[in-house]
C-alpha cells in the first residue's frame, strides 16, 4: 500500500512525549503535532509494548506483525479478528497483509454475484424491473499523451453521471496512462550503501530512469559476518520541479519481502510502501513539494521496525529484517494521472473500482480537499449483503458527499489501459421503502451471543455488564445508573451531535436499552450492540468489533460487541480505564463516557466509517486501537485523570484515515454518520 508518512520522536521516562508528524500523500503535505504534558499525580499508561521503531512503522502505514498467518483458521488462544472491523488493544499484532489478501478474494467473488446486481437495481430505481446498463465514458486525452486532465482542477467532466432521476448513476470510464519514463539505464551497487551519506548515486538529475539488482542482508550490517543490525540500501536521485519519484521491486526473481521509502536530505521519511507490488514486493509513487535531492531506501520487512533509527548511520537498524536478492527500478518523471469530474448531491454515496492499469483512486471535494484515496486496498467484502456499492478489481473506495458540486475522481497506476467503475446512490434510508426510524439497541446482558457473527467460534455465553462495574471501583448497585449514562453518551454521539453538527438536517435514529425495550430484539431496522463479556468468553481477541463497514447504511440490522475485560483490567495498560482513575475521578462519569465512546465507535463502523489515526492530535470516535486510547477515545484531559473537569467530549469529526489500513485523505466521520440516519 502506498501510504502517508509520519516521523516520530519519543522521549522516554516521565518526560513529555512529543510526536511531530509530517503527513503526506502524493503531492499533498501538511504538518500536525501532538504534545501530551507530564501527568503529575496520575498513573502513566504503558504503551501496549509498541517500540518507537514499531510506532514509526505503523505511522508510515506499514504493519509490524508477522505476515501470512492463517487468520481464518486461527482459534487458539482466540480468534484473530479483522483489524478493519476490530478495536484492538494493540495494533502491532494485526496482520493487515493476510487480511488484505483475504478481503480481495472475497471482494472479487462478491463483484460478480447476483445479489449485488439485485441490490444495484433496487438502490438505483426501486420500481424498475431491470437494471439499466452503465454508460461508457472514453477518456478524451489521446492515448500515449498527457497534460489534458492530469490535475483535479483540469478534471474531464462526465456530464451524464448523477443520482438524479434524469441521469445515469453508473459509468465505466475507459482511459490510458501514458508511459513517460524515457530511456532506462542500468547501474551497479557496492556496499556500504546503508545510510544517506553512503547512498548509491543513480545519476538521475531532474528526471531519468535506472534499474539495478542487489541483495538485502550483505554488507557490514547484514547477516554474518555482518553485525546483524540490518542491511539498508539507499539510492540518491535529484528531482526537478513537478517531477515524481517512482520505485518498485517488481521483477525480483526471489520473493524477498521488500520495503520502499523516500527520504529527504534531512533524513525525514516522506512516503513508504510495503506490499503494493506482487505478493510481498513493493511499489511506490511520491511527488515532492520542492525540487532537490531525495533518497530511495530499499529495506527488508521486520516486525521490530524495518527502518534505520538514524538514516545517517548505516548501523542503526533493529535486526530481524528479511533478506535476499531484489531487482529495483527507479524513475524520476512526469506522471500521467487522469482526473474526471462527477456531479454529486449532499449525501450521495460514491463507490469506485479500478481495474487494468488503474491501481489507485482518490476523490477531491469541490473545495479541493482529498476525502479518500486508496492504492491496492479493497474492503468491499466488509459491506453488508444489502449494499449496492461496487468492489473487486485492484482497488476500491467509497465516499459520502458533503456538499453539492463537481467532485474530481483521480486515477493513478501503471502504464497502459484502465477500466474504472464509478457508481452513485442515495443513502440506504432514502432508497429502502421499508425503512423507518432506525434503532440502535444496547444490550448489557445478552446472555448468549453468536460470536461467529464477528468471525468467532460460534454461540458463547458472556457475562453481563453489571459484573464488571465493581472492577472500576463502582458499586454493583449502581450498574443501572452506569448503563443509563452509557446510553446517554451514545445517544449524544449518534443523535444530538449529528443533528447539530452534521450536514444532514434530518437525522432519524433512536438509541435504546434492550432491558427496557426487549420487544425490539431481532426486529427489522434494529441494530444490536452487545456490551458484555470477555475475550476468553467470546473467543475474539479485541475490545470491540462490528459486523460490517457500511458506507451509506444499506444494512439496518447489524450487530457489534464491546467486550469489557480489557477496559476493566488493573491499572497499567493504556487500554484500561483503571489506568486513568484516581481519588479525584468521577468514576461513573468517566466510565460511562469512555464505554459509550467505544460503543459509538462500533456503531460508527456499521454506518460506514473506517478507522482514523489514533496517533495525531485529533480525538475522534473512530480512532483506531493502540497506545493513545486516553485522549483520542476515552476523553482523558490534560491532567491525565479521567472523570475530571478537563475531560474532552470525543465526537465524530474530520480526521485522517488510519495510515496502516491503506486509505489516504481526510475522513469526515460526522458527515458519514449523519447521512447514515437520513429519515427522508
Asked whether the predicted pLDDT for residue 420 surpasses 70, the reply is yes
What phi, psi does 678 have (nearest 5°)?
-75, 125
Domain boundary among 281, 300, 333: 333
CA distance 371 to 362: 8
On whether the CB atoms of residues 100 and 377 are closer than 8 A, the answer is: yes
Q: Based on the domain organization, do 666 and 585 belong to the same domain?
A: yes
Global pTM?
0.89
CB-based contact 656:623 (threshold 8 Å): no
Q: Is pLDDT of 19 > 70?
A: no
The predicted pLDDT at position 435 comes to 59
Looking at the domain assignment, is residue 2 inside a domain? no
Return the pLDDT at 138: 97
Domain range for 222 = 184-333
The reply to whether 509 and 590 lie within a common domain is yes
Q: pLDDT tens, 112-165?
A: 999 999 999 888 876 666 778 899 999 999 988 899 999 999 999 999 999 998
Residues 6+ apart with CB under 8 A from 113: none
Q: Is 431 inside a domain boundary? A: no
Q: How many domains does the chain have?
A: 3
Residues in the chain: 680
E strand spans, 301-337: 324-333
Cα first-last separation, the chain: 39
The C-alpha cell at 113 is 454475484
- Looking at the fold, whether 555 and 592 belong to one and the same domain comes out as yes
- Give me the pLDDT at residue 30, please: 29
Domain contains 7: no
- Residue 319's CB is within 10 A of a number of other CB atoms, namely 12
CATH code at position 390: 2.60.120.380
**Quick check: 381 and 6 in contact, CB under 8 A?**
no
Q: 485 and 610: one domain?
A: yes
Q: Which of 314, 333, 352 is the last residue of a domain?
A: 333
Q: Do 537 and 654 have their domain in common? A: yes
Measured distance CA(454)–CA(540) in Å, rounded: 8
Output the pLDDT for position 645.
96
Instruction: Supply the pLDDT for residue 49.
Output: 64
Res. 9: pLDDT tops 50: no
| 510 and 627 part of one domain | yes
pLDDT at 533 over 90: yes
Angle subtended at Cα 621 by Cα 620 and Cα 624, rounded to the nearest 5 degrees: 80
Q: What is the mean pLDDT of residues 362-383?
A: 95
Residue 114 lies in a domain: no
Over the stretch 588-601, which tens digit does the pLDDT of each residue have? 999 999 999 999 99
How far apart CA 607 and CA 554 sit, in angstroms, is 8
Q: What is the per-residue pLDDT across 428-479, written as a single tens digit (0 to 9) for each?
A: 877 766 656 899 999 999 999 999 999 999 999 999 999 999 999 999 999 9
Which of the four pLDDT bands, split at 50, 70 and 90, describes residue 506?
A: confident
**Is 441 in the same domain as 503?**
yes
Check: CB of residue 361 under 8 Å from CB of residue 411: yes
pLDDT, tens digit, 9 for 90 and up, residues 161-172: 999 988 999 999
Q: Coil, strand, or helix at residue 74? A: coil
Q: Are residues 566 and 593 in the same domain?
A: yes
**Residue 297: φ, ψ to 5°:** -105, 135
Looking at the fold, whether 351 and 306 belong to one and the same domain comes out as no
pLDDT in tens, 619-628: 999 999 877 8
Residue 9 lies in a domain: no
Residue-wise pLDDT tens digits, 539-595: 999 999 999 999 999 999 999 999 999 999 999 999 999 999 999 999 999 999 999
462 & 548 share domain: yes
Under the banding of pLDDT at 50, 70 and 90, the label for residue 75 is very low
Residue 191 has pLDDT above 60, yes or no: yes
Same domain, 465 and 598: yes
In a domain, 341, yes or no: yes
Boundary (domain end) residue, out of 390, 425, 460? 425
Same domain, 375 and 292: no
Task: Say yes or no to pLDDT of 486 above 60.
Answer: yes
- Tell me if 121 is assigned to some domain: no
Q: How far apart are CA 387 and CA 401, in angstroms?
A: 17
All 3 cell numbers of residue 155?
Answer: 478534471
Number of H helices, E strands in the chain: 10, 31
Nearest to 396 by CA among 445, 358, 439: 358
Query: For residue 430, what pLDDT is reported?
Result: 73
Residue 128 domain-assigned (yes or no): no
Instruction: Dump pLDDT digits (tens) for 205-238.
Output: 999 999 999 999 999 998 888 899 999 999 999 9
Amino acid at each position: 500500500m502506498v501510504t502517508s508518512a509520519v516521523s516520530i520522536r519519543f522521549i522516554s521516562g516521565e518526560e513529555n512525549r512529543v510526536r511531530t508528524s509530517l503527513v503526506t500523500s502524493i503531492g499533498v503535505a501538511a504538518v500536525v503535532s501532538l504534545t501530551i504534558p507530564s501527568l503529575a499525580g496520575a498513573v502513566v499508561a504503558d504503551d501496549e509494548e509498541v517500540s518507537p521503531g514499531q510506532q514509526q512503522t505503523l505511522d508510515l502505514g506499514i504493519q509490524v506483525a508477522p505476515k501470512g498467518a492463517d487468520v481464518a483458521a486461527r482459534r487458539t488462544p482466540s480468534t484473530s479478528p479483522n483489524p478493519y472491523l476490530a478495536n484492538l488493544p494493540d495494533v502491532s499484532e494485526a496482520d493487515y497483509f493476510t487480511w488484505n489478501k483475504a478481503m480481495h478474494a472475497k471482494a472479487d467473488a462478491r463483484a460478480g454475484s447476483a445479489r449485488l446486481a439485485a441490490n444495484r437495481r433496487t438502490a438505483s430505481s426501486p420500481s424498475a424491473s431491470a437494471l439499466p446498463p452503465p454508460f461508457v465514458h472514453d477518456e478524451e486525452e489521446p492515448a500515449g499523451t498527457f497534460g489534458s486532465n492530469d490535475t483535479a482542477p483540469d478534471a474531464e467532466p462526465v456530464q451524464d453521471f448523477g443520482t438524479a432521476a434524469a441521469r445515469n448513476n453508473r459509468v465505466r470510464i475507459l482511459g490510458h496512462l501514458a508511459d513517460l519514463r524515457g530511456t532506462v539505464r542500468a547501474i551497479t551497487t557496492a556496499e556500504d550503501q546503508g545510510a544517506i551519506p553512503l547512498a548509491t548515486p543513480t545519476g538521475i538529475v531532474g528526471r531519468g530512469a535506472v534499474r539495478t539488482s542487489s541483495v538485502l542482508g550483505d554488507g557490514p550490517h547484514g547477516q554474518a559476518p555482518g553485525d546483524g543490525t540490518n542491511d539498508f540500501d539507499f539510492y540518491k536521485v535529484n528531482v526537478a520541479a513537478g517531477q515524481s519519484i517512482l520505485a518498485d521491486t517488481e521483477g525480483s526473481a526471489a520473493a524477498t519481502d521488500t520495503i520502499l521509502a523516500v527520504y529527504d536530505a534531512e533524513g525525514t521519511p516522506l512516503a513508504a510502501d510495503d506490499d503494493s507490488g506482487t505478493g510481498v514486493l513493493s511499489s511506490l509513487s511520491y511527488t515532492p513539494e520542492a525540487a532537490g535531492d531525495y533518497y530511495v531506501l530499499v529495506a527488508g520487512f521486520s516486525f521490530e521496525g524495518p527502518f534505520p533509527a538514524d538514516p545517517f548511520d548505516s548501523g542503526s537498524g533493529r535486526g530481524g529484517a528479511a533478506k535476499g536478492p531484489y531487482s529495483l527500478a527507479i524513475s524520476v518523471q512526469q506522471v500521467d494521472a487522469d482526473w474526471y469530474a462527477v456531479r454529486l448531491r449532499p449525501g450521495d454515496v460514491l463507490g469506485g473500482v479500478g481495474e487494468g492499469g488503474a491501481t489507485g483512486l482518490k476523490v477531491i471535494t469541490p473545495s479541493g480537499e482529498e476525502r479518500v484515496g486508496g492504492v491496492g486496498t479493497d474492503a468491499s467484502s466488509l459491506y453488508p449483503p444489502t449494499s449496492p456499492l461496487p468492489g473487486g478489481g485492484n482497488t476500491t473506495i467509497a465516499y459520502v458527499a458533503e456538499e453539492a458540486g463537481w467532485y474530481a475522481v483521480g486515477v493513478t497506476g501503471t502504464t497502459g489501459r484502465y477500466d474504472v467503475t464509478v457508481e452513485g446512490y442515495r443513502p440506504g434510508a432514502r432508497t429502502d421503502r421499508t425503512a423507518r426510524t432506525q434503532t440502535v439497541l444496547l444490550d448489557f446482558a445478552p446472555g448468549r451471543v453468536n460470536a461467529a457473527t464477528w468471525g468467532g467460534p460460534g454461540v458463547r455465553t458472556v457475562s453481563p455488564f453489571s459484573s464488571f462495574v465493581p472492577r472500576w471501583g463502582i458499586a454493583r448497585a449502581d450498574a443501572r445508573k452506569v448503563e443509563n449514562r452509557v446510553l446517554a453518551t451514545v445517544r449524544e454521539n449518534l443523535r444530538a451531535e449529528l443533528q447539530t453538527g452534521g450536514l444532514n438536517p434530518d437525522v432519524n435514529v433512536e438509541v435504546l436499552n434492550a432491558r427496557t425495550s426487549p420487544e425490539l430484539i431481532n426486529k427489522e431496522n434494529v441494530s444490536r450492540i452487545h456490551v458484555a463479556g470477555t475475550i476468553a468468553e467470546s473467543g475474539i481477541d479485541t475490545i470491540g468489533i462490528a459486523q460490517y463497514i457500511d458506507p451509506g447504511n444499506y444494512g439496518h440490522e447489524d450487530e457489534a460487541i464491546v467486550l469489557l475485560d480489557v477496559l476493566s483490567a488493573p491499572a497499567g495498560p493504556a487500554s484500561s480505564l483503571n489506568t486513568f482513575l484516581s481519588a479525584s475521578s468521577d468514576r461513573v462519569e468517566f466510565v460511562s463516557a469512555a464505554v459509550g465512546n467505544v460503543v459509538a465507535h462500533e456503531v460508527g463502523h456499521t454506518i460506514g466509517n473506517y478507522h482514523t489515526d489514533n496517533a495525531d492530535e485529533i480525538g475522534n470516535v473512530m480512532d483506531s486501537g493502540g497506545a493513545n486510547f486516553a485522549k483520542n477515545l476515552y476523553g482523558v484531559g490534560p491532567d491525565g485523570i479521567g472523570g475530571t473537569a478537563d475531560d474532552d467530549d470525543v465526537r465524530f469529526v474530520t480526521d485522517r484515515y488510519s495510515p496502516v489500513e491503506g486509505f489516504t485523505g481526510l475522513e469526515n466521520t460526522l458527515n458519514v454518520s449523519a447521512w447514515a440516519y437520513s429519515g427522508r
